Amino acid sequence: MAVRTLQYLALGLSLEFQKAWSRFWFRTTHPHALALFRIAFGGFLLFYWSLKLPHVDALFSEEGIVLPLVWRTNVPPALLSLFSPPPYPIALLIFLALLAVFVFLVAGLFSRAAAGVAFALSVYYWILSLHLFGTSFDRLFIFMLLVLAFSPADRAFSLAMKLKHGSFLAWEPISILPQRILAVQVAATYLGVGWQKLVLPDWQSGEILALGFMGRWATAPAWRVIQWNLPLWMYDAMIAVVKGFELLLPFGVWIQKWKIQWWFFLGTALFFSNVALFLAIWWFLVLIPANILFLDPDALYRWLRERANGQIH
């Protein structure tokens, strides 16, 4: 009797887990969270890449010192030719095409195709030049564009809905899967960064922060702080706070009870803003609007509808 009871209990728990798993990954939901992320992310990338426009000749054409990744490997000649630095006029046209697809992505017109082209061109630029820097944010952006290329992120706040239904506020239901994939990737990024700081020898002391405030990434506010000659234990304390926050962050952003989630959202805003302010590393500011990926899209829809006086139907 006890064995049978345990079997029924295990079966019940299994069914509940399957329902929860399916609801988390695959349920049909409102598109507004993903749409708002599309707008913020696309706008950020448009700004990020526009800053490189004056330097296309040096970064991506044969007029600069460009060392494509394929030169390090044995590849067919055709592939080598494809990723050889082009003449400047061609490099400029390719770059302008990248900026154009970001405009389409933000506007929500042919957004899947726009994200797909942006993904392909981002990979092209990674192989051509960006691999020399090995920056984690470029790889993160490439992955996000790939997910958006297979996502119905234009089902709200888009020209596509305007042309189809006559209103920017019109929307169509979508699968929650793309939003979940993006959110899990962001959380995994937080977890990886926090774990690195926990175990890497250089992060066991506040000295790394003090050196950062006088290094090549330091800003004028950082130089002002370092001139205060604060004792090293204060930098140790700041590093301890940062490590603790980053280790809790990938879990805290999911907790929707007691407004815990919003405290972590505020923490990300303060943390990434301070990194940009004191170390001129502003590329991760895009992760502040990425917090919207962790919101319940149905709850967000209800909140937006209330504030739009029912105009979002």
Q: How confident is the model at residue 6 (pLDDT cuts 50, 70, 90)?
A: low
Do 85 and 59 contact (CB within 8 A), yes or no?
no
Q: How confident is the model at residue 54 (pLDDT cuts 50, 70, 90)?
A: very high
Residue 308: is its pLDDT beyond 80?
Answer: no
pLDDT of residue 216: 85
**Share of the chain residues as helix, strand and coil, in percent rounded to the nearest 5:** 75, 0, 25
Q: What DSSP assignment string belongs to 248-262?
A: HHHHHTT--GGGHHH
Range list of β-strands (E), the chain: 28-29, 174-175
Q: How confident is the model at residue 310 (pLDDT cuts 50, 70, 90)?
A: low
Average pLDDT over residues 144-158: 96
Cα dihedral sign for 124, 125, 130, 132?
Answer: positive
CA proximity to 33, closest of 144, 150, 174, 164: 174
Q: How confident is the model at residue 131 (pLDDT cuts 50, 70, 90)?
A: confident
Which range scores top for mean pLDDT: 3-17, 87-101, 126-140? 87-101
Domain segments of the chain as ranges: 26-170, 176-304
pLDDT of residue 209: 92
Least confident of 75-84, 117-126, 230-239, 293-302: 75-84
What does the radius of gyration of the chain's CA atoms come to, in whole angstroms? Answer: 23
Which residue type, as a one-letter code, is found at position 141? F
Which residue type, as a one-letter code, is found at position 64? G
Average pLDDT over residues 113-117: 97
Q: What DSSP assignment string belongs to 122-152?
A: HHHHHHHTGGGT--HHHHHHHHHHHHHHTS-
CA proximity to 45, closest of 87, 104, 86, 4: 104
Helices assigned H by DSSP within 174-219: 177-199, 207-212
Least confident of 35-39, 214-218, 220-224, 295-299: 214-218
